Amino acid sequence: MSDVEAAGLHELADLIFAVGRQLRPPTDPSFEPCTPIEISVMRYIHHHPGTSARAAAEAALLPSSNFSRVLRGLEKRGLVDRVVDSGNARGVCLYPTEKAYQNLQYLRDNWDQTLRGIVDDPATIETVNATLRRIEHELIARRRGADPQDSRAS
């Protein structure tokens, strides 16, 4: 990799962090704020309703003891429902609650207000989104030890 290519990747990572820091939480008093770890867990549960606790813990990069603590906190605040897995009485399935969906809507409304007018071209937005999705999928595949080329097919 050339120095120019490396510098471009460094800037990309730096900008991802910087933009993420600029996305502030909603100020609506009904919004239930979450820590970055809780956001990671909720994001996975929203994208995979009915997921197992183990899959959510792995996706959030948390050991089971830490994940259990985070999950209990989210449950206590009414953001996650644990339902006994009908196929495995010892397992549970995790679902976002109605409050969690409302929380997500507060976030999306806030993101709309924050980002509106910065990039108006839908094609540019889709290109950036596709690139970030690919980066996320490749990083997950690498963490799991899979061939990143194989993850592109999914």
DSSP codes of every residue in 90-120: EEEEEEE-HHHHHHHHHHHHHHHHHHTTT--
**77 alpha-carbon distance from chain centroid:** 19
81 and 140 belong to one structural domain: no
90 and 46 belong to one structural domain: yes
pLDDT tens figures, 13-69 = 999 999 999 998 898 888 998 898 999 999 999 999 999 999 999 999 999 889 999
- The count of structural domains within the chain is 2
pLDDT tens figures, 117-126 = 999 999 999 9
Output the pLDDT for position 86. 80
Q: Are 83 and 93 in contact (CB under 8 A)?
A: yes
Give the predicted TM-score (pTM) of the model: 0.81
Q: Which residues have CB under 8 Å from 50's CB, separation 6+?
A: 83, 93, 94, 95
Residue 57 lies in a domain: yes
Structural domain containing residue 128: 119-154
pLDDT tens figures, 138-150 = 998 898 886 555 5
